[in-house]
Amino acid sequence: MTTSVDHTGRQGSFDNLIACPGCDLLLHRQVLQEGEFARCTRCSDVVQTRKCQTIDRTLAAAVSGIVLLLISLCLPFLSLSRAGIESHISVLDAVESLWLSKMRWLGIVTLAFIVLLPLGRLLMLGWVLWRIRFKRKTRRGMRMAFRWSLRLEPWAMADIFMVGVVVSLVKVSMLASLHVGAAFWSLLLLVAVSIYIDLTLCKETVWNILSR
């Protein structure tokens, strides 16, 4: 359900005002029911949301993402065979190869953007949502963890990595026989889970809970 947010023209508490992300118009904060969202009266951009079961659904997705990421580190990513010689490689093997081939900076960047940053984001988001879900006492660290989980979102580049892998697979498949492993499918599912988190997470709902 969609509602409109009226432009403010009277004095009041700044806590009751919200700026439109599209045109910066100051608007009155509305009380929304689950499933509703409010649009700006000037540019029609979404300024408020209240997504259904946002805590439960996002928490489940975050836990799933952590499990999928750990699976992708433990199992083979690709198997390559040529002339009767077969070899397996995992994500960590690729990082190690870059490190040993004197491309240490590339290995560190790969490890950070493919493993450390996505895992850190999911752990912080999952911790915050877990405490909210089971009605634990709100701590100051929860607000900082949630803020950093949002900041790290653009830097968790598992999707970019998978695009690069697919392009490489097309070229390498002409030279040898390739078989994708369980880690490949785990990372592919992780990309889908990340998209699902973006769709189900209601940031305003979480911030309202943490501000109480």
Of 52, 186, 70, the closest CA to residue 123 belongs to: 70
User: What's the confidence (pLDDT) of residue 196?
Assistant: 93
List the chain residues with pLDDT less than 50.
1-2, 4-5, 8-12
DSSP β-bridge partners for residue 117: none
DSSP β-bridge partners for residue 90: none
Percent of the chain, pLDDT > 90?
Answer: 20
User: What's the confidence (pLDDT) of residue 18?
Assistant: 77
CB 43 within 8 A of CB 179: no
43-57 in b/e form (b: 16+ CB < 10 A) is eeeebbbbbeebbeb
Of 5, 2, 1, the closest CA to residue 43 belongs to: 5
Q: What is the per-residue pLDDT across 165-182, written as a single tens digit (0 to 9) for each?
A: 666 666 666 666 777 788
Cβ-based neighbours of 42, under 8 Å, separated by 6 or more: 7, 20, 23, 25
DSSP β-bridge partners for residue 38: 3, 48
User: 3-state DSSP: the chain helix, strand, coil percent, rounded to 5?
Assistant: 55, 15, 25
Domain ranges of the chain: 2-49, 55-210
